[in-house]
Structure 1
Amino acid sequence: MKLWNQLPYFLIFSLVFYPISLISATKNFTQCLNEVRSGLWGPLAGVDNYGRVVAFETATAIPYEMCVEACGGGSQPFTWSDFSSEFSAWLLPWLALLSQLPFGANDNLENFLSVVLAIGSPVLAAYSAALTVLNSRWIARRFSKSDYPNTYQAVRSLSSLQQAPIELDTSQSLLASLVVLHENDAWWKELHENLNYTHTWSISAATSIGWVLIAYIFTVIDSLSNVLQGVEVNGQAVGSLWLWLLPVVVAWLQISPKCDKVRVTAAIDRANMHAYVASAEGDPKLARKVSNHRGIFLQQDDGALYNDERCTSPIYNYSRVFSWAAAVEEIAAYFREASRRAGLQQPVATDTDWEPENRYISIHELNRRGSSFEVVAYCTSFLPRRSRWGPGVWGRMIVASLMALLLQWGTAGAAIFVVWETPTRGLGCRSGSYLIYAFFSSVIWAILVASSILSHYSTLNFPSQNLRDTERQNSRVETAASLSIALRRLGKVLAAANTAWIVTTCIFQFSAFFDRCYCDSSVIGLGISKAFNVIEFTPDDLTSMRGAWIGGVFMAIISAGIYIGFINIIINPQIPCDPIRE
């Protein structure tokens, strides 16, 4: 209860009294300790580094209330040399690495919001990356029973379209024609080739990552070799806190998401210029000469409900997981059924015989022609329809969530542990700030994922013969849509606030704002009556601090290593009908 009782005071203290503290006079803590040792503040003014009252001549710490009286409540003097060196070593490389995150929204505001979301909720950034590789592996399994022509191109293309709000049109045999008609082989080839561009390793990306790694290693070694130098402004914990960014950037570079909105839109449009649709008479026709509808297209709805789905930045993949999975499952079902019928040597046209394949073609083009009715029937399975949420989507979301939370709390937990074990031990301003950041990072992720669930629910169709049930369902759908929009906006506001919070916290750390009686005494965790400010460290403190710092570094590195190891295990699954692997 002490923590929750103290946190509101800490927040008010940080936000309201910081400007005042900049001009408040404060004695140097070493000077205060010397005054205590001289007996100026009485025989009970000094304690040891465990908070026990000792003879004032041997004191190494000061009780919090005495610290405020003797030293003042403001922070220690700001030193530009300390601030610039710590900021440049511990924070600046991570801020530079943000430029290597994939954007692609072709809108400066959307790209900026993507950065804000990533910093404000590392859980969301790591979750979207993990979910993307899990989806790619899932789609390869869903098409594993298909050997129908264009299976490979379909898997690769649909996997690349995770960053796009794809929709299907099953009317007029549009989607079935894309799967069955041999004239649409050119459609799949065009789509695959236009999406087969890479956003992966480059000299710029490798240099940025190398710079961050070298800077992190050097600063860690330097801080461990000089533990007592600038403890109050040291960025050891800051380095661990931001370590989540490195595996997330590496993961996206390996995934190579197709997130350039202009290129993705152009790829769909160019392919749709070659789309054919079966006619009632049996002769395929160019779809653009029949209507402006296509079997696969990008969502054009400009409603507020679909704002995140339309944004092609990969961090928004969380918002498309249900609609994308449902669309992929529909297409995969078409391919599986067509493959099953082809395996039974059933041609599309019911009044023709099966034309044997030759060594150049597995299924003769004559077996892939028919009327619009026959084409639809050829792809339609008699098996019951699967969940409209997408098969296995909940399991993938759980796994991605666990990996994202592991990365966030492994790195943030390391930062909290490092500061916690630095005397005065306990929960203080620094560790409390990191805890708040990690907590709200998780809250933002939970809010936005809940928003995506409600958004997809509001788009589902629940037919009913009962008018009252239909009206009741429509009311629930409208409520879900409104709540989804509200949660999404709340999540983004919190992400912006959390971004400002952690950047400000890091600046406070380096500028000695936290180097004051309240923060150095760990008042939040110990309480006012038991809190004390350790000013002079003992050899035992030095040993325990070095051990804690080393433990924190390993904790953060292991968490990041587990995440990137998971990505590398899951990524690049075997794709059915892969011409290279076969």
Structure 2
Amino acid sequence: MRSSIAFVVSFCLLGRVSGQVNSFDQCKIHVERILNGTETHGPINNETIEEYGYIYHGPVAGINPDFPRPKLLTITREGCQALCGLNDPDYYWVTDISLTLSIVSNWVIPIIALLAVLPYESSDGSESKTTRLKETWAKILRISGHLLNWLGSPQTALTAVFFNIEQMRMCLVAAKQPETDAEEQYTTRRELKRDAYYVLCCIGQYQLPEDTDCFLDGLLYSLFRPLCKPVGEEHDTDERRRTAEAWTTELLRAMARQMRASRRRGVWPTFASIILFFVAYGVSVALAFSNDMGDRTTTHSLAYGILISWLPLLVLFAILDRNPNSAERTRTLIFRWMWNGRAVKAWENDLTMQTPNWWSPAKRKKPQAKSERHQNPKSFPDRRQTAQKYPQAILDEVHGQETSLACSQQTRSPPTNWDCIPGRFIGQGREIGYNGLTYEIVSAVRDKSGENLWRLINNRNMTRTEFKFLFPPHEHRPPASWWFLSVISLLLVLFEIGMAVMMSSTVPTVGVGCRSGLYIIYALLTTGTWVLHLFPWFRRQGFWAKVFGYGLCLLATLCLTFTTFASFSGVLKNCICRAGFSGYLDFEEAEFYRKKEHFDVTKWWWIAAILGAFPVIMLFMIAVVLIMLLQPLWQDDAECEWIDNGAAGENSRSGGRQEDIQGADMKWLD
């Protein structure tokens, strides 16, 4: 870390103490010599230069009214192009390579470090070479899409991350809710609630499938069957009910252990990238306000840092909203776990079934009966139609399980509904849109226990009533908290961009120029995507909505990329950009602009620098507090202080002995 800081500081200092004569300084000397009659420029001399209109005598924005206007030499944009020949960019690496290196080390390297720690997907490495190659290209495309969403629409990405964290907070509150004496006979201990809500948090980061009925039917039973009491007193001593409860409890605990084990680690080391950004910010502030080293280039460099200040915020909260090491492996386990949950539910409600139809790897290997496919083609989805929608591991398992269901004569379970399989991982702003499965479920079961919870997970009509926002025509209707966090995300990004515009536009020539204009264009493009994601038709992510959304994100990302390139290349160092929309320019240095009797721009630079850093520092502290507060949700039972670990081995509320019940089939963990 110390070496990185030393690298940043040394190059920044190097860029200030070495370099060639500035092209605009040469232009100033040339114009002054024309005015005093010692030089000419073709037909232009000290007498004809006024006739050409190259000298600007109009008002100058931002200058002290008491300053004598004739003492400030200003020329028009056309005069700069004609007299100085600065139509082509004055690249830094041509005139002063150390300046390019100083900006790269100060900002580009910290930004690359931040981009490197964003939550990209990881492969479990279990595919064959051919499959792995295809998956690699697919992964590159997915990562490109994620980067477009993160960089091209930070407002919507922050909205998704903030709302995911809000859903995690709701789950933690629900898991820690104390149990009353009346509920004690209906609910298990807190560790089961914590497991259920943590699993729900993880599943909530996957795309909601097409058949919401089927998905919720399996999910609710698998999550909350261990936490509820069957309706009717005759079930209190029913061995079948107690066995189903024991099986679902064992499956839930195993699933929670798997998700905690696969959760991305290394939260605290990632903070090094954030610290490096803070160091770069501090160095830029020091350079911009230094009387010896500061100039308009260092000020524009600081403005660029303020512009991109939302990136460490996105990384900070994406660290908190961690994704699994292998999203597809976790998705496969979710599919197997919900398969077994539906199997236990079918077994519990069908007294003629001897054993549940557990998931088993051996079922994949059974040949598919052509006669069965011909008789019931809907039960056997066409691989060609679904190959792009689901990973190969789930394709193999679903086809194998359906074949087994069709061929088995011992069970009466219906064939698998293809559309109830969870979709791809979309957590941490990977896709634009509202994803509130966790919020809806927590809100529906928050005040339910015992028989009410039993009715909810077994009565489909009641399920549709409780989760109406997950069904048409109210599909994907966000709650008030989502709207609030969405507005906060918008204001946060626009505030940082606004501070960058303030700093850049107050560097004379005062007014909107190429740099501040790029910042404004980036703000408009990203805000356009944010506005679109508020509409229900866009949140459903149809094909043309996706194309249009990705198009806006691509334009915004290209704008940000060009802005980054311009910050260290000098491509905007020309007459057009120096004059901006004002149409004129001067040749003074930063020291002249800082003096109160001239422009006194320092006060505006300080305001932009301090206000731009405030949200980053404040939210950094909030993220640290949230990590400590939400940590019990993903901790092991032995590490969680508010779990009664001494009672971990006690029997459940039914009074039955666990050793009398055969354990659930755990082949699904292979």
Among 263, 266, 273, the alignment partner of 1:208 is: 273
**Which residue identity lines up with residue 547 of structure 1 in the other structure?**
K
- Out of 150, 175, 194, the position equivalent to 1:152 is 194
Of the structure 1 ranges 376-385 and 501-510, higher mean CA displacement relative to structure 2 is found in: 376-385
**CA deviation after TM superposition for structure 1 residue 273, in Å:** 6.3
Distance 1:377 1:223, change over 3 A: closer
Q: Which residue of 2 aligns with 1:405?
A: 490
Counterparts of 1:56-205 in structure 2 under 5 Å?
A: 58-72=71-85, 74-75=87-88, 77-80=90-93, 81=97, 82-104=99-121, 106=123, 107-140=139-172, 144=177, 148-149=187-188, 150-167=192-209, 174=218, 177-178=221-222, 179-180=224-225, 181-182=244-245, 183-196=247-260, 197-202=262-267, 205=270
> What root-mean-square deviation, in Å, do the aligned CA atoms of Structure 1 and Structure 2 show?
4.1
For 1:378 and 1:264, locate their aligned partners in 2 and report how far apart those are by CA, in whole Å: 27
Q: Find the residue that maps to 1:31 and give its secondary structure.
A: helix
* Pairing 1:376–2:455 present: no
1:534 aligns with 2:583: no
| Deviation at residue 165 of structure 1 after TM alignment | 2.3
- In 2, the alpha carbon distance for the partners of 1:385 and 1:267 equals 25
**1:351 is matched with which residue?**
none
CA offsets 1:60-117 (integer angstroms, 9 cap, x no match): 3223333233223514532311222222212231122101111227512211221232
Q: Residues 299 and 504 of structure 1: is their aligned pair in 2 closer, same or farther, counting only changes over 3 Å?
A: same
Q: Is contact 1:89–1:215 with CA below 8 Å preserved after alignment?
A: yes
What is aligned with 2:566?
A: 508
Deviations 1:541-566 (A, max 9, x none): 21423322222111211232454456
Deviations 1:288-334 (A, max 9, x none): 3654768999736xxxxxxxx624452236535145544x25xx646
Task: Indicate the residue corresponding to 1:315 in structure 2.
Answer: 429
**Amino acid in the other structure paired with 1:533:** L
2:60 maps to which residue? Answer: 50
| 1:360-388 Cα deviation digits (max 9, x unpaired) | xxxxxxxxxxxxx9982699589876544
From 499, 514, 537, the equivalent of 1:454 is 537
Cα distance change of structure 1 residues 455 and 238 upon mapping to structure 2, 3 Å threshold:
closer
1:542, 1:280 → 2: CA distance? 83
The superposition leaves residues 405-424 of structure 1 with CA deviations (integer Å, 9 ceiling, x where unpaired) of 12211221111111111111
Q: Distance in 2 between matches of 1:540 and 1:251?
A: 42
After superposition, the Cα gap between the structure-2 partners of 1:375 and 1:59, relative to the gap in structure 1 and judged at 3 Å, is closer
| Contact 1:130/1:400 (8 A) holds in 2 | yes
Q: Is the 8 Å Cα contact of residues 152 and 552 (structure 2) preserved in structure 1?
A: yes
- Structure 2 residue runs without a partner (length 5+): 1-22, 38-44, 124-138, 226-243, 359-410, 644-670
Asked which structure has the greater CA Rg, the reply is: 2
Change (3 A) 1:66 1:41: farther
Q: Go from structure 1 to structure 2 and tell me whether the alpha carbon gap of 1:290 and 1:417 turns closer, same or farther (over 3 Å shift).
A: farther
Q: Does the C-alpha gap of structure 1 residues 425 and 189 become closer, same or farther in structure 2, counting only changes over 3 Å?
A: same
CA contact (8 A) 1:422 1:545 kept: yes
Query: Counterpart of 1:262?
Result: 328
TM-score w.r.t. structure 2 length?
0.63
Structure 1 residues 201, 56: CA separation in 2 closer, same or farther (over 3 Å shift)? Answer: same
Contact 1:260 1:312 in 2 (8 A): no
Q: Is residue 511–residue 580 contact of structure 2 (8 Å, CA) maintained in 1? A: yes
User: Equivalent of 1:239, from 305, 309, 327?
Assistant: 305
How far off is 1:118 after superposition?
1.2
Task: Tell me if structure 2 keeps the 8 A contact 1:421–1:545.
Answer: yes
Structure 1 match to 2:367 = none
Report if the CA contact (8 A) 1:64-1:532 is conserved. yes
- Give the direction of change, closer, same or farther, for the CA distance of 1:299–1:176 in structure 2 (3 Å limit): closer
> 1:428–1:382: structure 2 CA closer, same or farther, 3 Å change rule?
closer
- Once the two structures are TM-superposed, the CA of residue 27 in structure 1 deviates from its matched residue by 9.0
Whether 1:248 and 2:290 are equivalent positions in the alignment is no
Q: Distance in 2 between matches of 1:514 and 1:383?
A: 59
- Measured in 2, the distance between the counterparts of 1:284 and 1:99 equals 53
Structure 1: distance between partners of 2:69 and 2:605? 31
Deviation at 1:141, TM superposition (A): 5.5
CA 1:509 to 1:376, structure 2 compared with 1: closer, same or farther past 3 Å?
closer
Aligned residues: 484
CA 425–31 in structure 1, closer or farther in 2 if over 3 Å, else same: same
SS at match of 1:62: strand
The SS at the match of 2:642 is coil
Partners of 1:412 and 1:335 lie apart in 2 by 40
Q: State the AA in 1 paired with 2:429.
A: I
Q: Say whether the 8 Å CA contact 1:427–1:522 is kept in structure 2.
A: yes
Query: Equivalents in 2 of 1:172, 1:62: separation in Å?
Result: 70
> Which of these residues, 536, 539, 544, is aligned with residue 486 of structure 1?
544
Q: Is the 8 A contact 1:64 1:533 kept in 2?
A: yes
Aligned counterparts of 1:518 and 1:114: Cα–Cα separation in 2 = 35
CA drift of 1:155 comes to: 1.1
Gaps of 5+ in 1: 1-24, 301-308, 343-347, 349-372, 458-480
Code of the aligned partner of 2:118: L
Partners in 2 of 1:310 and 1:555 — Cα distance? 39
Structure 2 distance, partners of 1:202, 1:566, is 15
Aligned: 1:433 with 2:518: yes
Aligned-residue offset at 1:266:
3.6
Question: Residues 334, 297 of structure 1: CA spacing in aligned structure 2 closer, same or farther, 3 A cutoff?
Answer: farther
CA distance in 2, matches of 1:394, 1:441: 23
Q: What pairs with 1:347-366 in structure 2 (closer than 5 Å)?
A: none
Counterpart Cα distance in 1 of 2:521 and 2:487 = 20
CA contact (8 A) 1:437 1:498 kept: yes
SS at match of 1:131: helix
Q: Aligned residue for 1:31?
A: 29
2: CA distance, partners of 1:536 / 1:564: 39
Contact 2:316 2:623 in 1 (8 A): no
> Does 383-392 or 531-540 show the bigger shift?
383-392
**Could you say if the C-alpha distance between residues 209 and 295 of structure 1 is closer, same or farther in structure 2, counting changes exceeding 3 Å?**
farther
Relative distance call for 1:259 and 1:160 in structure 2 (3 A) is farther
| 2:313 and 2:620 in contact (8 A); partners too | yes
Give, in whole Å, the separation in 2 of the partners of 1:341 and 1:194: 29
Q: Residue in 1 aligned with 2:652?
A: none
State the alpha-carbon separation in 2 of the partners of residues 171 and 255 from structure 1. 24
